[in-house]
Structure 1
Amino acid sequence: MTLICGECGGVIPADMDFCPRCGSLRSNARVVNDGRTVGECPSCGGPLGPDDLYCGRCGSKISTGTASQGVMRPRKNANLAIMLALIPGFFNVFGLGHFVLRQYSRGIMFLVISVVLWYLGGWKPFPSSLLLTVLTICVFFYQAMDILRLSYTREGRCRTGPRSTALRRLTASSATRPR
């Protein structure tokens, strides 16, 4: 069993109460067994394995760790949304990818920005004004990053929105209804 300092990552010998590198308390250290990090339950202090989602001693859910963070998965039509954001976006048409992902208010917002940039800078991909060119590039990258963020969801996390809220209400009402 080896103790790894939670502050600097140095090894704390078993006979010391403080880290020899940074002076941090031994209680802040993580215990490492056979190269696998083992933690403690925040509720009862019981031992936890690296893949534990629940404490074996008290049964409380563990909120930290890689298993609870989820895996990034693409949403349906993610590739189409990314293509409709990037290709027309190069020609100052922003927001089309948001419509594919049913983000209508953002799509309309980016389309309005497109019309304003067209009006101010002409119908060219890059306006002659340096300020408008920089603004156009910033809007392009902002909408591209926004569409990438919207295109991928974490598996295991509940999505918020009108459909998921209605589904939760329907599930809750059917569970409380007597049969």
Structure 2
Amino acid sequence: MVQLIYTIGHSSHDFETFSSLLKRYDIELIIDIRRSPRSTRYPHFNIDRLERTCLFRYSFQGDILGGRRRRRKSLGDLNDGLIDSDLHAYADHMQRKEFQQAVNDLVSQCSSSTLVLMCSENNPEECHRLLLADCLCLVHHVQVLHILFNGETREHQINSMAKLNEHSNTNIYPSNNSVI
């Protein structure tokens, strides 16, 4: 049986629309992967409100799975294929043991619950969810479906630069000149 994880960006949805999208896909558990789980524009997505809702179980994991990271110089050119500095920093962060353990836990959870990884960004291609989805697909062989703003889903396509680092069992993004 193929394991499945959804992703979604809460974007500018009102909470009723957002909830109906999650109900459509039988989501039971929201895993919040925002580094900062607050929004002044959309306060209905603040951590305190999401924790109180009885519609879905909620777990904040943005401290380890969230974006907005700093580059790790100690990794050298491991992820130099990523030009965007924010994505490069997140790819570096993905090499940490704590990150890998958190992803292992996600994979275990998706066996018993239908879960969604939630961030704020509408478009998964403009969000760290993209790299996390690469990891889930490439390293863990999980199917990832992105729930789009209009409610449709799109299956995740692994970035062509993503490579499996068999030494650490992680995904990396080397430049064409890098040796794995």
Interval of TM-score (by shorter of Structure 1 and Structure 2):
under 0.3
Structure with bigger RCO (C-alpha 8 Å, 6+ apart): 2
TM-score normalised by length of structure 1: 0.21
TM-score normalised by length of structure 2: 0.21
Which structure: larger Rg? 1
